[in-house]
Amino acid sequence: MAETVVNLVLGKMADVVVQEALFLYGVRDKVERVQRDLKWIQSFLKDADAKRHKDERVKQWVNEVQEVGYLIEDVLDKFLVEVGGGRREGLYNKLKRIGKMPMKLISKHKVGSEIDNIQKRLSEIKENKQMYGLEGLEETSSGASVEQPMRPFSSPDIDEMEVVGFNVQRKTIVDQLIDTNITRRAVISIVGAGGSGKTTLAKEVYKSAEVKHHFDISMWLTISQEYKLIDILMKMLEKIRGVPDSERQNKGEDYFITEIYQSLRERKYMVILDDLWPSNNVWTQLQVALPNYNKGSRVLITTRFIKLAEEADIRSEPHEIKPLNKDESKQLLFKKVFPNRFSNECPNEVLPLVTQFTQKIDGWPLALVVVGGILSTKNPDYITWVDVLQKMNWRAEGRSYMDVVSTSYDDLPIALKPCFMYFGVFPEDYQINASILIQLWIAEGFILQDGTKLLEDIAESYLEELVQRCMVQVSERSCIGKIKYCHIHDLLRDLAIQKAKEDNFLTVVSKTDTNLSWSTCARRVALHGYGDKMIEHAGQKKIRSLINFEDVPNFNRFRTLGVLHMSAVSAEYLSGANCLKGLNALTALKYFKLEIPFVYDCQFPTVRIFKRSPLTYLKNLQTVHTWFCKSHGELTQSFWGNKQLRHINLSCCGGCKAIPEGPPSAADLQRLLTLEGVRARQDWVTELPNFPNIRKLKILIPEDVAGEPLMNSLSNLNHLSSLYLYMKAYKKITFPDCISAFRNHNHLYSFFLGSSRWHRKEIGDCTLFPPHLVKLKLRWFSFEEDPMPQLEKLPNLRVLKLDGNIEAANGNHMVCSRGGFGCLQRLQLEVSHLEEWKIEEGAMPMLNQLFLSCSGMQIVPDFQYLVNLQELTAYCGPRIKSWLEGEDQWKIKHIPSVQIECYM
């Protein structure tokens, strides 16, 4: 861990903002001397960190290095806050700075003295290396780059947990689920230790075509130890019929229980409850919402506790997961080590070692997968594999099963260790947004610059390597193969928290914790299920990050804070006069996220608390995710003058419906990569702000902005990968002109275009679209012709969403022709007046998800030609619904998951 701390501190010392402040106040020379000594010590730390568990002298030396590393970080952060804070313009602020000059000189002298003391301690540490007889430590490169992976990423075998050895149990469970002789609501249980494959087996059952066809509705719910019943109930109702934002507010548990019960009482349903614990009593609370009529409904639970499974249904025998046998263990290991090769291609020199690996792991799937992930990053030769095997000598030492999983952490390159430990900040079983995770890593300083590469691209490669090492699982990839959501196994999350807690890197507090001494030295604090009174116990001067806090009562007490993530914020806090008050004191803040559970309706849209947003004063801010409300001040030119900005994501307040103006044309934002939730300014028509590296842009174009000149300006943003335009300037530009402005954008893969009307209602030629377009969404459109003949020619299109209407003179029809949409995988059609949709045989051969909402449709489409369709969700009129459930049922018989709802 000391190696990680030193690496992070060296990264902070090299930061441009820090360097400028050090130079400005004449202490950079002193810091550079500290930096040189720290790099020399770093060269020995990798060997020392590995040996500290076996030698008390090494452990003491490493701890001293770590302590000094944290001390340097404290001094640098304190210096930035007290001396090197951002400057504000105006005569008043200039006079204020002059008045503070004596105080700054005192602070400068104090910081200089603290740096001198640190220099002395570093000299002592260098001498102690010889005094303690540590000359045997090996010197290694001080570079912190991640070792390049041995094999390519994005293999499906890497993303998916392997299924080996469960065929018999899978068939038995499926047979029980679809057994028509049992008409009661039966509960079937899968029981096994952590990492034994319970969830993997349950997912295989859940995905099976037999099960999908048998039930009217199926839903999967993961139950964490820190669950909230209201959240689970809301998720259930969301899966059944959707939950409007208005329904989410001021509704209690009883309301949702009643709604779920009424929605399921006439249906045959299956509910899977993954990872039940006896302490949370969730089954007792949930079963009142699940009707027990003679419909043959089923509940499948997975748990580590046999007693809980037996009590859930005394008439059903639990299915206990057993360890894999030798052959199955070998098969699973091979699949992870050689995801793109056959097992018989394994080099002969390492074949004898495979048996030794499987004997040590003793048949537990998670451990096999993790060890396979380690080996997949290394050369398949005898010496390399023996080295890994020796590090796994846990059985001979009488150590626990978790130690074999811990080997995966020890094997990580230095740069990946803090990234892995950071997964502990997320709640158990949480689906993690990969973009948010990467932005957090960057704000925390985990990602170091490597040549001209963007930090986000480097961080993405870190995440992919953690996936390849099987320490992180991919939940969903984007349409171009990038990780969109990911999650981590409970046992690996426990490992991350354990490693982080040992060295005060991170403290995670859940509602099950009773010991409050956790936070006295914590650098980062994450709360799971606790009220914000817990913040009173925190060692405020040490904390650099607050994660998942519902409220921070006094921002001034956390002036060195770098990351602030406020989640599930209450309506009372949002509406109060203290909301965001004092936020401007956090001058070191790099990441700010204010997360609300629904679209917030402002209680006082006419009252202005701030003239300018508190975000204006945060000159180190890189990433902002928040909602915009008039009452909390405007985003001024001073805010847009912050050159550190990388990601801006703003959502509109539901009450005042205010959308802030984007940056002025004079703004210099060369680091800006994401800009979402702003209005285009009039001056953008002639001159855009200087954000040449922008990748993701989501803007509203008002009526007073000339559409065509603005499109010409936007067409110069050559690095755009995702573009979202909502046009109100519909009288000043045609749809083809808007699309064709980006026809030469080779990196643009996602395009959203929305407008209620266009000057001319035509789709235009397919050659007008960006050449590598993968995702296209057209909303509120109204065309006078069928758009499909042109759209189906787009060669790379994988996702298409159409929301609008067709007003053709010869009838409201659409045709997808043979060979069209060759790559399309997901299609969403919400075309209210569509009467007929003709699907020719051979059209959309890769389509696997279809959402159809067409109230005016008169004829059932030829779904039988969509041979790879896996999911169909249809909202239609009574006639179509009755046909699909009657004479035309044969058209959808091949589709595993079908959900048909009727418009009322």
321-369: pLDDT as tens digits: 888 888 888 888 888 888 765 455 678 888 888 888 888 888 888 888 8
CB atoms within 10 A of CB 126: 13
Report how far apart, in Å, the C-alpha atoms of 857 and of each of 787, 815, 861, 889 are: 17, 13, 9, 17
User: Does residue 177 surpass a pLDDT of 90?
Assistant: yes
Q: In the prediction, which pLDDT does 90 show? A: 46
CB atoms within 10 A of CB 112: 16
Amino acid sitting at position 82: E
Q: What is the mean pLDDT of residues 249-261?
A: 86
Of residues 656 and 14, more confidently modeled: 14
Q: In the prediction, which pLDDT does 632 show? A: 67
pLDDT tens digits for range 262-296: 999 888 999 999 988 887 678 888 999 999 988 89
Q: Token pair of 217, please?
A: 């509705």
User: Does residue 95 surpass a pLDDT of 50?
Assistant: no
Per-residue pLDDT band for 172 (boundaries 50, 70, 90) equals very high
Q: What is the mean pLDDT of residues 183-194?
A: 92
Q: Token pair of 694, please?
A: 């922008």
Per-residue pLDDT band for 195 (boundaries 50, 70, 90) equals confident
Of residues 572 and 435, more confidently modeled: 435
Cα angle 113-118-123, degrees, rounded to a multiple of 5: 125
> How much of the chain is helix, strand and coil, in % rounded to 5?
40, 15, 45
User: Does residue 737 surpass a pLDDT of 90?
Assistant: no
User: Does residue 238 surpass a pLDDT of 70?
Assistant: yes
Report how far apart, in Å, the C-alpha atoms of 397 and of each of 47, 374, 384, 392 are: 21, 21, 22, 10
Q: In the prediction, which pLDDT does 345 show? A: 67
Residue 550, judged by CB atoms within 10 A of its CB (0-12, 13-18, 19+), counts as middle
User: Does residue 69 surpass a pLDDT of 90?
Assistant: no
Q: In the prediction, which pLDDT does 862 show? A: 93
Per-residue pLDDT band for 156 (boundaries 50, 70, 90) equals very low
Q: In the prediction, which pLDDT does 553 show? A: 59
User: Does residue 393 surpass a pLDDT of 50?
Assistant: yes
Q: In the prediction, which pLDDT does 94 show? A: 44
Q: Where are the beta strands (DSSP E) in 427-506?
A: 432-433, 473-477, 483-487
Q: Token pair of 494, please?
A: 């426990």
Distance CA 791, CA 448 (A): 42
Per-residue pLDDT band for 658 (boundaries 50, 70, 90) equals confident
Per-residue pLDDT band for 620 (boundaries 50, 70, 90) equals confident
Distance CA 334, CA 142 (A): 34
Per-residue pLDDT band for 70 (boundaries 50, 70, 90) equals confident
pLDDT tens digits for range 664-721: 998 999 999 999 999 899 889 888 999 999 999 999 988 888 878 888 899 999 999 9
Q: In the prediction, which pLDDT does 175 show? A: 94
Q: In the prediction, which pLDDT does 604 show? A: 46
pLDDT tens digits for range 27-58: 777 788 888 888 877 777 766 666 666 667 77
- Mean pLDDT in the chain? 81
User: Does residue 382 surpass a pLDDT of 80?
Assistant: yes
Of residues 398 and 412, more confidently modeled: 412
Q: In the prediction, which pLDDT does 805 show? A: 81
| DSSP category for residue 634 | B
Distance CA 73, CA 189 (A): 50
